[in-house]
Structure 1
Amino acid sequence: MLIRTKLILRFTILVAGLLVAFSAFVYYFQAAARRQRFVHRMEASALLAARVLIRSGHPAGPVHPRDLLMMTGERLRIVSPTGQTLFAEAASVPPDLADQLESTRVRYKSQGITYQVEVSAIDRLGHSQLDTLRLILVVGNVGTLLLIILAGWVLANQFLQPIARVVEQVEQITASNLSQRVDEGNRRDEIARLALTFNQMLAGVEQAFEAQKSFLSHASHELRTPLATLLGTLETSLAYDDTLDESKESITSGLEDVRHLIALTNGLLTLARADAPSPRLLPVRLDECLTTALGYAQAKYPSRDVQLSIGPVPAAASAEPFSLPGNAELLTTALFNLLDNACKYSQAAVNVTLSYPDSNTLQVSVQDSGPGIAPADQARLFEPLFRARSAAGRPGFGLGLPLTQKVVRLHGGQLAIESAAGEGTTATVRLPV
């Protein structure tokens, strides 16, 4: 069901309920007022009849009881204190009005004697007025409901017009024009906030789309180069290698290109796995992950001096120090990437610190004394396959930092890179415990 139809339907039901309740309220109190007026009228008629008839002393006197019956179907009966009926007279009652007969009793005192006067009659005029009122209320409510439906349709169209405009603008946005934005209106009401939120989401989608295109472009370029080199090596070997030594040399060159391809492919697969649905996070020891990553770094760079220092453990964490919810494999990979970068670009010692900045946060800092990163390159460090100018001539594909950042964010943490050209680089990972 369309929102417009829902709004009209609910608005109509709400107002119809209020109208019916108000009409019932008016009809009920009008009926009660009619009853009260008619009872007063019957009481006055009964007292007048009693005063006249009792003073005349006999029904055959100057005034006959029938002459006092002024209301439709009126019946009059006067009873003495002993229960004897002194006067009784009744007018004819139309058969179709018999169920409308109403009665009341009054007491009349004359010369110290109290008489009971019973009177009943039909309020023909009052019931006719109630019937007219009921007809007016029914016709008025039906007419009002029709007007309400029309007004609801107009108001729903008026209020939903901005949404229809947003929908129309959204339908025009495709993958080829993600830069287009939705009109945000007055930027204050709910629809404007919806458009603003959608524009923010669209900006993120555009950024991710551009990053994806850039990633695919760089990946295809990185893959094309070793493939072309490998193809050229094999074609050259097939055409010109005549001896075993020449063939071995060509095979060795081809193997290097294959290893390069395998390393690049593994990096791309690891980066893609970090974008997969979040793995289950279990309690892990960050110090153990760091120790494992240090072992990998020492094996890859045996001549590099890596110094590890551990800060004090807060009393609140003494039972399970350096423990946090996470994925041990991903955390080890992320820490190794930071160590790999530091050892790759620094000839001096690499300083690693594991500490608690506060009782709810674990921090790992990796500091090197390498060439540093130019300010212009720092904004693009987390783009896949981007390499800073200081990385020229060094092995790598520009996948380590983007992967590390995704792993850290997956664990609810933050990765910060502080660097200055010629002064080294410090990478800091902060993770909640």
Structure 2
Amino acid sequence: MTIQNRLSLLFTFLTASILLVFAVIIYATSEKNRENTFYRTLHKEALTKANLFFKAKIDTKTLQAIYTNNRSIINEVEVAIYDDHYNLLYHDDANIDVVKENTKMLNSVLKKKEIRFYLDKWQAIGMRYEHDGKNYIIMAAAYDLNGYHKTYIAKRNILIVFLSSIIFIYIMGRIFSRKALSPMTNIVANVKEISATNLDLRVQLPKNKDEIAELATTFNQMLDRLEKSFDAQKDFVSNISHELRTPLTAMLTELQLSAGNLRSNDEYRKSIDNAINDAQKLVRLSNSLLDLAKANYDQTEIVQKEIRLDEVLLDARNDVLHNQPEFKVNLIFEKEIEDDDFISVKGNEYLLKVAFMNLIENGCKFSEAKESTIAITYFKDKTIIRFQDNGIGIAPDDLPNIFTPFFRGDNKGFANGNGIGLSLTQKIIALHNGTISVVSEPNEGSTFTVELPHV
């Protein structure tokens, strides 16, 4: 069931429920008023006939004749009069006798002075009447034909109005819900036109600043992120294809030349060395891509535990020096470690070591002295690590793009690389809720500052 139908039915149900409550209250109040009014009429008629019998001294036959004549044209009240010994003194028509009084009923009238009750749909009243110091019992009963007729008409009119109101309310509910949800319908129509080939399309924003407009804005923001993600994916595939093709082509060419011509041992050795270098580039690229994939995982999917940053830095320094013995890496602690918590973070040891190794290798690669300095300090809430070098620096135009995957600046001719390291490092630091920034001047060196919050 659509939201429009649900809203229409819900609106109709709630309104119909309210109308039904009011209708029941009105009908019940009307019926109660009819009942009380007719009881007052019975009381008045009974009292009038008692006065005619006791005070006006009108004989029984005359009163009965009046009753019989009136009964043929109107719904006359039937009256019976008893003394306090329950002897019948007068009855309009003993043959009909609707009430059929008994001792218990008459005794109740004497005790309570007045009683009211129903006989099927006939209303009856009993009252104590005093005359010349004696107590008498007056019983009266009648069928409220006119009152019941009015009640029936009122009930019929209420039912007609109620059913008509439900139909009208449902129609109006459909109209208003359609109008209220028309912006949502427009959004659905816009969304159906959007696919992977036209992610530049956006949902039209409604004029009213309501929840639907907020939904449309949020959806457009999601499309912005998806479009950027798709563009990044295209760029990634394009760049990785280029990075893989270059060493593979060089390796294939070298091997084909070696296989096609007879060469000396030194030439074969040189060709093998070149092929090994190209293969090593492929290995480094593959490892970088695997690390990049790990850094792109959801944070909840990566195992994290409490680790000491100084130990991770020492391991990263040792691994770099093992792979590149010609590098020189200095590690400086600017403060004495007073508390292990000040040098500890919650994170993934492997990923952090990869990030630190990338920063150390970059500092050494782009420095003529192949030297990098690591300075570490800590505060109560975070640890700050600076990776400094005195190398060729980074051009100002390249600084905004150095963390973009596969981007290589004007200094790419100084050292080999694939443009993944800094992008990978930034993702790893962000994964640990940290930040990384860089300050660099051409020909003066660069300083990368990493800030990581404590556990």
C-alpha distance in structure 2 between counterparts of 1:107 and 1:252, whole Å: 132
Deviation at 1:321, TM superposition (A): 4.3
Question: What amino acid sits opposite 2:331 in the alignment?
Answer: Q
Deviation at 1:422, TM superposition (A): 4.1
Of residues 103, 108, 117 in structure 1, which corresponds to 2:138?
A: 117
Deviation at 1:431, TM superposition (A): 3.1
1:94-120 Cα deviation digits (max 9, x unpaired): xxx962112233343334444443322
SS at match of 1:56: coil
SS at match of 2:328: coil
C-alpha distance in structure 2 between counterparts of 1:134 and 1:312, whole Å: 93
* Corresponding residue for residue 169 of structure 2: 148
Question: What amino acid sits opposite 1:246 in the alignment?
Answer: E
TM-score by length of 1: 0.88
* Corresponding residue for residue 428 of structure 2: 407
1:52-80 Cα deviation digits (max 9, x unpaired): 22213464275448639777373323333
1:313-351 Cα deviation digits (max 9, x unpaired): 68xxx4744333322211222222222222322445513
Residue correspondence of structure 1 range 10-409 to structure 2 within 5 A: 10-57=10-57, 59-60=59-60, 63-64=63-64, 67=67, 72=75, 74-90=77-93, 99-186=120-207, 188-277=209-298, 278-299=301-322, 300=324, 302-311=326-335, 318=339, 320-346=341-367, 347=369, 349-356=372-379, 358-359=380-381, 361-409=382-430
- On the 8 A contact 1:73/1:92 being kept in 2, the answer is no
SS at match of 2:387: strand
Question: What amino acid sits opposite 1:7 in the alignment?
Answer: L
SS at match of 1:375: coil
Q: In 2 relative to 1, CA 243–294 (structure 1 residues): closer, same or farther, beyond 3 Å?
A: closer
* Corresponding residue for residue 7 of structure 1: 7
- On the 8 A contact 2:42/2:141 being kept in 1, the answer is yes
Q: In 2 relative to 1, CA 222–76 (structure 1 residues): closer, same or farther, beyond 3 Å?
A: same
Question: What amino acid sits opposite 1:159 in the alignment?
Answer: A
Q: In 2 relative to 1, CA 175–295 (structure 1 residues): closer, same or farther, beyond 3 Å?
A: same
RMSD over aligned CA atoms reads 2.7
- Farther off after superposition, 240-249 or 252-261: 240-249
Question: What amino acid sits opposite 1:87 in the alignment?
Answer: Y
- Farther off after superposition, 125-134 or 298-307: 298-307
SS at match of 2:356: helix
Question: What amino acid sits opposite 2:80 in the alignment?
Answer: R
C-alpha distance in structure 2 between counterparts of 1:92 and 1:116, whole Å: 15
Q: In 2 relative to 1, CA 129–287 (structure 1 residues): closer, same or farther, beyond 3 Å?
A: farther
* Corresponding residue for residue 430 of structure 1: 451
C-alpha distance in structure 2 between counterparts of 1:139 and 1:10, whole Å: 21
Q: Which has the larger radius of gyration?
A: 2
Unaligned 5+ segments in structure 1 are none
C-alpha distance in structure 1 between counterparts of 2:52 and 2:405, whole Å: 113
SS at match of 1:118: strand
C-alpha distance in structure 2 between counterparts of 1:333 and 1:256, whole Å: 22
C-alpha distance in structure 1 between counterparts of 2:65 and 2:356, whole Å: 115
Q: In 2 relative to 1, CA 221–110 (structure 1 residues): closer, same or farther, beyond 3 Å?
A: same
Unaligned 5+ segments in structure 2 are 99-117
Q: In 2 relative to 1, CA 319–32 (structure 1 residues): closer, same or farther, beyond 3 Å?
A: farther
C-alpha distance in structure 2 between counterparts of 1:65 and 1:366, whole Å: 125
C-alpha distance in structure 2 between counterparts of 1:195 and 1:301, whole Å: 57
C-alpha distance in structure 2 between counterparts of 1:284 and 1:76, whole Å: 105
C-alpha distance in structure 1 between counterparts of 2:336 and 2:131, whole Å: 110
- Farther off after superposition, 168-177 or 340-349: 340-349
